[in-house]
Amino acid sequence: MTPIYLDYNATTPIDSQVAEAMLPYIHGLYGNPSSGHAFGLEARAGVDRARHQVASMLGCHDDEVLFTSGGTESDNHAIKGIAGADRARGNHVITSNIEHPAVEEVCRYLEIQGLEVTYLPVDGHGLIDPQQVEDAIIDRTIMVTIMHANNEVGTIQPIREIADIAHRHGAVMHSDCAQSVGKIPVDVDDLGVDLLTIAGHKLYAPKGIGVLYIRRGVEIEKFMHGADHEMGRRAGTENIILEAGLGIACQLIEQNLDGYIQHMGQMRDRLEAGLRREIPGVRVNGHPEKRLPNTSSVSFKDQEANTILDKLQSVAASAGAACHADRIDVSAVLKAMNLPIEYAMGTIRLSVGRHTTEDEIDRAVQEIADVIRVQSHV
C-alpha cells in the first residue's frame, strides 16, 4: 500500500521551490561569503537575501536574524547565552515542564552549574496559566523560556501575556517556535519575545539549518567562537546552501500561511471526526481551541501505542508512550497533563501537512480503526 505520512511534526519534506533555490549554490555559486571578490560577493548576496526573507516573515530587522545549525543550537544559544551575559544580575530561569528536550536538557545542565530553574506545571489541556509565571518571578529571574506550541499535543501558549509579565520584572523572554512557524502566525512584536527559535526542517526547509532571533539591544553571550561571522555573533563559514533554502521556505510561509492553515485544519478535523466515528471512546488531547491546526494527539483506552504503530502497515505516526515488559514510559508532556495511564499508554500523535489529501486521511482512519478493533479483541 502507498505509505501515508502523518508525522509532519517530526520533520517535513523539502518543498520543491526550496530545493530549487538551493541548487545554484550547489552547482555554481560556491564562493565564501566572507571573500571580497566576485565569487564571495555572489554568495554574500545570497546570505543577505535569505536573512531578509526570514526577517520579513518574522516582522523583524535583518540584523536580528542569526543563522544556526537548527532548533537545538538556537535553544542552547538563547538560554546559555542569557545565563552567561546576565550572571551578574541574577541566576533564576523560569520554564515549563512540557518543553522540548532542547530546552529542558539545557536547563538541567545549567542547574548543575548553579543556575536555579523553576519548572511550571500545565493544566489538563497542556496550557500554562500566566499567573503562575507572575507568582514564580523573583528579583533574580533573568529569563522566561516557554515554547509557543507543544510538539506533542499542539497546545498554543499565551506567549504575549507571559512576555509582558517577564518584561515588567526585567526578565528576557525566549520562545521555542519550532512547531508553530508555518502553522500559525508568528510575529516577534505580536508575541513580545526577545529571543525566538526556528528549526528549518519543521517548515519544509532542509535539516541542519535554523534561526535564533535576537531583538536589538539584548545582550547575549557567544555560543560559537572563532572568526567574525554572522555579525560577530556566531563563528563558522555561512552555509549558504541551507540558508537559501530556509529563506525561500520562510517566504512561502509569508505568502501562503492562510491557505496552509485552512488546509491543515480541514485535514486534521476530518481525521479526528473519522476516528471518533469509527472508534467510540477515542480521546483527543490538547486544548480544544488553542491548538495547532495540524496536530492531533489521540488516545485509545487500554491499548499500547507501540503495538498500534507496529500493526499499522502504511501510516507513519509517533507514539506518546513506549510500553516495555516491565514498565510503561509515558511522555513527559502526557505526564504533566495528568492523562490517566489507561489512556496515556495508548496515545499516538498524528500530524498532517500542506499536501495531505482527503484520501490519505480516509485510508488512515480506516487502517487505524481496523487495528484498534483487532487489538480490542486480542
Three cell numbers, residue 162? 507571559
| Whether the Cβ atoms of residue 333 and residue 152 lie closer than 8 Å to each other | yes
| Whether the Cβ atoms of residue 261 and residue 94 lie closer than 8 Å to each other | no
| Whether the Cβ atoms of residue 229 and residue 34 lie closer than 8 Å to each other | yes
* Residue of 107, 177, 250, 323 with catalytic role: 323
Three cell numbers, residue 129? 496559566
Straight-line distance from the first to the last Cα atom of the chain, in angstroms, rounded to the nearest whole number: 25
User: What own/partner pairs with CB < 8 Å and gap ≥ 24 does 71-74 have?
Assistant: 71/100, 71/102, 71/176, 71/178, 71/197, 71/198, 71/199, 71/202, 71/210, 72/102, 72/199, 72/210, 73/210, 73/212, 73/223, 74/197, 74/198, 74/199, 74/210, 74/211, 74/212
Mind listing the domains of the chain with CATH numbers?
4-11+257-376 (3.90.1150.10), 16-253 (3.40.640.10)
pLDDT in tens, 80-118: 999 999 888 999 999 999 999 999 999 999 999 999 999
pLDDT in tens, 260-288: 999 999 999 999 999 999 999 999 999 99
Q: What's the pLDDT band for 324 if we cut at 50, 70, 90?
A: very low
Q: How far is Cα 13 from Cα 11, in angstroms, rounded to an integer?
A: 7
pLDDT of residue 166: 98
pLDDT of residue 223: 86
Q: What is the mean pLDDT of the chain?
A: 94
% of the chain at pLDDT higher than 70: 97
| Residue 323 annotated to the active site | yes
